[in-house]
Chain A
Amino acid sequence: MATVKASGPVRLMTVLPALLFLVLLSALPLANLLALSFAKVSWVEGQAQWDWVGLSNYTALAEDALFKAGILNTLILVVVATTLQVGIGLALALICSRLGRGAKAYRTLFLLPILIPGIIIGAIWKLMYNTQFGIINQTLGLVGLGPVDWLGSSSLALGSVIAVDVWHWTPFSFLLLLAAVEALPRDVFEAAQIDGAGAWRTFRRITLPLLWPAIFTTFVFRAIIAFKVFDEVYLLTGGGPGTSTQVISFTIYQRFFVQDSAGYGAAMSVVVMFLVALVIGVAMTRQKARTQ
């Protein structure tokens, strides 16, 4: 592939800008964050003063109820929301490809939630969940139910947030899976039909195994994005009531910016990055072992 001859300086100039961003705005801030996680920052006459505290930021994490709630809620959200999104997305993709014509119009429509700012999704659903005038409670009221305090009750709030995430991101799963479904080889299905295999059998024995890599990729992609969830929670519940919708990005934000404990927030960030890398690493290795 490599054919273009460019003189040394030109070649260097092509990657230099990207390298500057990588070093100055990625590596350096992250290194700074790592250093910060071993320090306690206090403000003396407008100047930040770092006091080294060793590992105490990290040991404090173990006792932080907010951190534990954040990790737990995030895991629940990632597993439940992602599973639903991939399941519904797959069903819609299969239906769409089967119907063929007209499917394109649906695809356009399903793109909309992906492109809308997360914070607006939060705003829309905050209004829809409203106990006084939200459309959900109004509809329930028509059949004599409710009103239900979807965001204010600690047993319902996380479920309500998950519902919004499913609504927001199922289209993305659908889009990825539709591409995979449309790339399936036709002849295998014709052969199955000639052999008289029923719809369910064909799905179990042929469609699902062939789609498995795409399903896995979609799951990982969605899980990564779900893990970062912040916008909707910020607007819908602010982590409450209590800690019932506290998610990890929100916990970090509160500790780092709201409480202004930069060192402690940094330690939390480092742990989260490490955890994410670990989980993805394990998942990738297992998937590789499975396909080989």
Chain B
Amino acid sequence: MSVSARRFTSRRAVTIILHGALIAAAVLTLAPFLWIALASLKTQIALLMGTVTFKPVAMNYAEVLFGNTSTFSRNFLNSVIVASVSTVIALSVGFLAGYSLLRMRWPRAVVNLFLLWAVVFNLVPPVTLAGAWYEVFRHVGLTNSLTALILAHTTLHLPMALWLLSSFLREIPNELEEAAVVDGAGFVRLMRRIVVPIMMPGLVSTGILIFIFSWNEFPVALALTNNQSATVPVGIAKFAQENEIKYTQMAAASVLSAIPALLVLIFCQRFIVKGLTAGAVK
């Protein structure tokens, strides 16, 4: 075997080992999801017996979605409402403020104030804020309402919206905006015709991230809701606390709650990678 051929084989061996490591990591990542998906299709007895081959049943899903005692569909609706509304508000408010702080000559102190807010909000455990919000919403009579949770989630994610959107905006040259202003475009026209269309990818990725974060958020939702207004994570947590845990139903509910994440992963993957990493690079 020649020297170059030997080098080639050892290189191949390294490549195979590296691929092996990645595949192992991929299997470890996926296995829990597959296992829970399988568990959700078993009867409680099949799960407890630990049988490998089983006849899949849909009754866990039926029970979770349509059962008399199940609150899951209400939880799901609440989550959709809270996540959508708080995403729309956080995006609009964050976009306006982010644009303004970047392009409208605000004194350094104002910009710093918002920056400090974002930093503090990133550091503080949401549980500490939950207590603070609980007291405030109790004072104004919004205890256990969806409105309270929407406001809380908006506040929680607004700093992120603000800084993500300004970081996207910073990458856009402002010649177009200047030209539009020279042509006499007013603020609203400038936004509608120039800035929002250019910013669309940034808005989409920020919006998706906020929606997912709001959908996933647990401690604040736990503190601010009751049975009527509980969101999906709160509903799932309740499964685990019952005396006799309905494991297979808990599995079915878990699979259903992962739907938004799966949709995002399938359809909007390219938008979120940038959003997730942009926040860290700054």
A residues lining the B interface (CB < 8 Å)? 1-6, 10-11, 13-15, 17-19, 21-22, 25-26, 28-30, 32-33, 36, 48, 88, 91-92, 95-96, 98-99, 106-120, 122-128, 130, 132-133, 135, 138, 167, 171-172, 175-176, 179, 217-218, 221, 224, 227-228, 230-231, 234-235, 248-250, 252-253, 256-257, 262, 265-266, 269-270, 272-273, 276-277, 280
Question: Measured between alpha carbons, how far is A249 from B281 in the docked complex, in Å?
Answer: 27
Nearest-neighbour CB distance to chain A for B185, whole angstroms, equals 10
* Residues in B whose Cβ lies below 8 Å from that of A176: 276-277, 280
Contacts of A99 in B (CB 8 A): 15, 18-19, 22
Nearest residue, chain B, Cβ from A220 = B280
Instruction: Decide yes or no: A111 and B269 within 8 Å by CB, A118-B218, A224-B122, A257-B131 being known contacts.
Output: yes
Q: A10 and B154 in contact (CB under 8 A), knowing A18-B97, A115-B212, A124-B32?
A: no
B190 at the interface (CB under 8 A from A): yes
Looking at B53-61, B63-71, B132-140, B199-207, the stretch in contact with chain A turns out to be B132-140
15 contacts between A and B (CB under 8 A): A18-B162, A21-B155, A25-B133, A111-B272, A112-B265, A117-B232, A117-B261, A127-B247, A128-B32, A132-B50, A217-B280, A221-B280, A234-B219, A249-B126, A253-B130
Residues of B within 8 A of A266 (CB): 131-132
Contacts A21-B158, A117-B232 known; list 10 others, CB within 8 Å: A22-B113, A92-B25, A107-B273, A109-B26, A111-B269, A113-B29, A115-B216, A135-B31, A176-B277, A273-B128
Give chain B residues whose Cβ lies under 8 Å from the Cβ of A113.
29
Contacting residues, chain B, for A25 (C-beta < 8 A): 133, 136, 151-152, 154-155
Complex Cα distance A167/B35, Å? Answer: 15
- Select which of B36, B94, B240, B277 is within 8 A of A235 by beta carbon: B240
A115:B123 contact, CB within 8 angstroms? no
Question: A128 to B187, Cβ gap below 8 A?
Answer: no
Contacts of B134 in A (CB 8 A): 257
- Identify the 6 closest CB pairs spanning chains A and B, nearest first: A29-B132, A269-B128, A18-B97, A14-B100, A115-B261, A117-B216
Say yes or no: A14-B277 contact (C-beta < 8 A), given A25-B152, A265-B131, A276-B124. Answer: no
Beyond A117-B233, A132-B48, is A110–B29 a contact (Cβ under 8 Å)? yes
